[in-house]
Structure 1
Amino acid sequence: MSVDLPFVTKVFAALFAIMNPIANVPVFLSLTEGASDAVRRRVAGTAALGTTIGCLVSLVGGQAVLDAFGLSVDDFRLAGGLIVLTIALSMLQGSSSRAHGRNPGGKQDVIDVESVAIYPLTIPLLVGPGTIATLIVFGHTAESQGKWLDVAVGVGAFLVLLTAALLAAPWLGRHLSATATAITRRLMGMILAAVAMEMIVTSLRNLFPGLGH
């Protein structure tokens, strides 16, 4: 069975644009600030595994899962946008995300650090409404046109790249100065805020069509 290379490229490019590994590396470093390289690698591995599972669920049964809870993609997009906005505001203020904290002695809680692998790194930053909606569409295409192999190759290639980027993040973190890290955190905070507003506005427009006018 031959592979439709243009379609595979389309799948890969769509996921890259939505989950942008390059843009998410500084976010990863900010969310795991103060953690050791070993902990960061565990967070990266957990996030990669969680993202893979999330992509598979979204691709095969994303719409069914939302329907089971009586939710639409726009409901999920609005909630995800609000969560991302709170993270972005924290980054813009130069503080660490409240998704992880520090104990009274000032030492970062390893359990809290590892928890960011699932929330908010995997959901909603990587496997967010845009990712779910895109994979649902590709799932429909694969089902109707018999392109499951092409979708699998495109998604698989992207997940390999994403995993490599996350695992390389601790190395990048060791070579970034405190000033560079602070600047990057605020820059990515601004970008995340813009992404969050786009998610919120899009969901509100779709939920309340009258707002578009």
Structure 2
Amino acid sequence: MSGNLLTFSLSVFTGFFAVMNPISGVPAFLGLVKGRNKEQKKEIAKIATRAAFLIVVFFVLLGKYVFEIFGLTIPAFKITGGILLFYVGFEMLQSKQSSIQHQKDLEPDTSIAITPLAIPLLAGPGTIVTGMNFVTDSDYIHIAIVILIFALIAYMNFVAFSLSDLIIKRIGNNLITVVGKMMGLILAIMGIGMIMRGVKLEFGAYFL
């Protein structure tokens, strides 16, 4: 049982880390908070990560009810979510800022902590799909693990955003680009795996 929970926890961490990588989000954060002082940047980072956490937790806890209300099925969700994750990962591999995860050409103002930082930079469709995928057929222990691990990832993003100037200075944009490509590959592979699981759930019986 403990081994299964550890494996599940590692899968959840990898999934969230790939789609919500703290390091690869630093350049976007710096571009949006340009001109702010250190305290203002930290406050924006705090609001953005808290908002992203609440948004994802909402979908994690109420995902099953959303399925029931709209008559959705787990196989359909896994296939659709897998396609979405693959698309985001594929764009990351091509060094593009995903049109799903990010909004473009937005002027930085007092609301940037919520949009576009919290939504959709941090809690974009890819993040929400990842979280819901891990809890669609899980018990309360697994749901709690997903929430706790996402809280850790959100905190890691807060730390990365707070230290964004130092990170860019020490690491440089080139290494951040390499990390982004690696996360894109992981995300694309996870998307294919999700599609395969969805197809197996829906059509597996026909091939037995």
TM-score (normalised: structure 2) = 0.70
User: Are the counterparts in 2 of residues 74 and 203 from structure 1 also a CA contact under 8 Å?
Assistant: yes
Hey, what's the Cα distance between the residues in 2 that align with 1:123 and 1:31? Answer: 20
The answer on 1:115 being equivalent to 2:106 is no
Q: Deviations over 1:109-148 (max 9, x none)?
A: 94344421332253123x232x122xx4314xxxxxxxxx
Match of 1:47 in 2: 52
Match of 1:167 in 2: 158
Hey, what's the Cα distance between the residues in 2 that align with 1:15 and 1:65? Answer: 24
Match of 1:144 in 2: none
What is the number of equivalent residue pairs in this alignment? 187
Q: Which moved more, 1:11-20 or 1:74-83?
A: 11-20
Quickly say closer, same or farther: Cα 1:78–1:172, change in 2 above 3 A. farther
Q: CA deviation at 1:90?
A: 1.0
Match of 1:124 in 2: 129
Q: Secondary structure at the match of 1:208?
A: helix
Quickly say closer, same or farther: Cα 1:172–1:17, change in 2 above 3 A. farther
Quickly say closer, same or farther: Cα 1:210–1:108, change in 2 above 3 A. farther
Q: What letter corresponds to residue 115 of structure 1 in structure 2?
A: I
Q: Deviations over 1:39-74 (max 9, x none)?
A: 44433222111222233324xxx2x43133221111
Aligned counterpart in structure 2 of residue 206 of structure 1, from 177, 191, 201: 201
Hey, what's the Cα distance between the residues in 2 that align with 1:173 and 1:13? Answer: 31
TM-score (normalised: structure 1) = 0.69
Match of 2:12 in 1: 18
Q: What letter corresponds to residue 193 of structure 2 in structure 1?
A: E
Match of 2:177 in 1: 182
Match of 2:36 in 1: none
The answer on 1:101 being equivalent to 2:103 is yes
Quickly say closer, same or farther: Cα 1:13–1:53, change in 2 above 3 A. farther
Q: Percent identity?
A: 18
Q: What letter corresponds to residue 123 of structure 1 in structure 2?
A: I
Quickly say closer, same or farther: Cα 1:173–1:187, change in 2 above 3 A. farther
Q: Tell me the C-alpha RMSD between the 2 structures.
A: 3.4
Q: What letter corresponds to residue 160 of structure 2 in structure 1?
A: A
User: Are the counterparts in 1 of residues 79 and 194 from structure 2 also a CA contact under 8 Å?
Assistant: yes
Quickly say closer, same or farther: Cα 1:68–1:156, change in 2 above 3 A. closer
Match of 2:38 in 1: none
Q: What letter corresponds to residue 89 of structure 2 in structure 1?
A: A
Q: CA deviation at 1:182?
A: 0.7
Gaps of 5+ in 2: 34-40
